[in-house]
Amino acid sequence: MSEPEPNDTASHLRARDDFPLTAWFLGPRGENAVAWSELFEHIFTDYVHWRRNYFPADPWIVGRVKRRSPEHESWYDWLTSHLDVILSELKYHFPFHSPRYNAHMLSELSLPAVLGYYAGLLYNPNNVTAEAAPITVALELEVGRMISAMLGYNPKRAWAHICSGGTVATIEALWVARAAQFAPLIAREICQERGV
């Protein structure tokens, strides 16, 4: 399997200097909520159209009668009530979105990041191989090249990947450090085997 070709999606999406920084965030008081809602709806509608146009002649699995059944409605009521419990509990979270809060290594989420995360989440990509996720593997490789260039490495020779978060990144860094400690011993053994 060859590596997917970079499609350079990000090159035409780079932020311009004249974009207002205030548009990038929801705002401490949710000032950009309408725009965020519209963009979430846009992503979801586009995603549903994609699903409906994949073999559009196939029969509906969940028809109108089933969707209106008491069991369906009851399940949605149950789900909504449990979702409300979680949403209530989340209100006790730290107000990291506020400019008054500056106690941890995190900040407000940017709109491009949230939209990209949400859009990718709907498609449920599995970036293990290009066969399982042909688009997102290519995007991951492209982002890896961009990060490599940003850090001063040659993007054609560097290797990078996206992990799920800071904890996994730390574990991976520790794993690499542990493996690297044996590099001198491996080099010595190879030199001894080859008489170098």
On whether residue 153 sits in a domain, the answer given is: no
pLDDT digits (tens, 9 = 90+) for 58-99: 999 999 999 999 999 999 999 999 999 999 999 998 888 888
- Residue 84, in any domain of the structure: yes
DSSP state string for 125-152: --TT-TTT-HHHHHHHHHHHHHHHHHTT
Record the pTM. Answer: 0.74
- For residue 131, being part of any structural domain is answered with no
The answer to whether position 136 is within a domain reads no
Q: Is residue 49 part of a domain?
A: yes
Please measure the distance between the N-terminal and C-terminal CA atoms of the chain and give it in whole angstroms: 36
Question: Cα(50)–Cα(42) distance, rounded to whole angstroms?
Answer: 12
Give the total number of structural domains in the chain.
1
Spatial separation of the C-alpha atoms in residues 161 and 145, rounded to whole Å = 9
- Residue 106 pLDDT class (50, 70, 90 cuts): confident
Q: What percent of the chain has pLDDT over 90?
A: 56
Q: What is the mean pLDDT of residues 94-120?
A: 87
What mean pLDDT is predicted for residues 176-190?
A: 89
Residue 187 lies in a domain: no
Domain around 82: 19-124
Q: Is residue 178 part of a domain?
A: no
Based on DSSP, count helices (H) and strands (E) in the chain, helices before strands.
7, 0
Whether the predicted pLDDT of 105 surpasses 80 = no
Please report whether residue 88 resides in a domain.
yes
